[in-house]
Structure 1
Amino acid sequence: MSTSIARSRPQVSILSPHSWGTGDSGARSRHQVRALTHRVRMTTQLPRLLTTAELSEYLGVPIRTLEGWRDPNNPQGPPYIHVGARVRYPEDRLADWIAALSRAEEGR
Structure 2
Amino acid sequence: MSSNCDEEDYPGDTDRHERLAGRRLDDLPELMTPEELSTYLQIPVRTLYYWNGRDEGPVPEKFGKHLRYPKENVIAWRRGLDRR
Q: What is the alpha-carbon distance in structure 1 between the residues aligned to residue 65 and residue 30 of structure 2?
A: 18
Q: TM-score, normalised by structure 1?
A: 0.49
Residue identity matched to 2:43:
V
- Per the TM alignment, residue 93 of structure 1 is displaced from its structure 2 partner at its CA by 1.5
> Is 2:70 aligned against 1:90?
yes
Q: TM-score, normalised by structure 2?
A: 0.63
Residue identity matched to 1:77:
G
Matched with 1:57 is 39
5+ residue gaps, structure 1, are 1-46
Q: Provide, for residues 17-56 of structure 1, a one-character-per-residue CA deviation record: whole Å limited to 9, x for no partner.
A: xxxxxxxxxxxxxxxxxxxxxxxxxxxxxx8110000000
Matches within 5 A, 1:28-47: none
Matched with 1:21 is none
| 1:69 pairs with one of 51, 59, 67 | 51
- Per the TM alignment, residue 67 of structure 1 is displaced from its structure 2 partner at its CA by 0.7
- Per the TM alignment, residue 91 of structure 1 is displaced from its structure 2 partner at its CA by 0.4
- Per the TM alignment, residue 94 of structure 1 is displaced from its structure 2 partner at its CA by 0.8
Q: What is the alpha-carbon distance in structure 1 between the residues aligned to residue 66 and residue 56 of structure 2?
A: 19
Bigger radius of gyration among the two? 1
Q: What is the alpha-carbon distance in structure 2 between the residues aligned to residue 102 and residue 60 of structure 1?
A: 17
Greater relative CO, 1 or 2 (CA 8 Å, sep 6+): 2
| 1:100 pairs with one of 73, 80, 84 | 80
Aligned residues: 56
- RMSD of aligned residue pairs (Cα, Å): 1.2
Identity score, percent: 39
Matched with 2:6 is none
SS in 2 for 1:82: strand
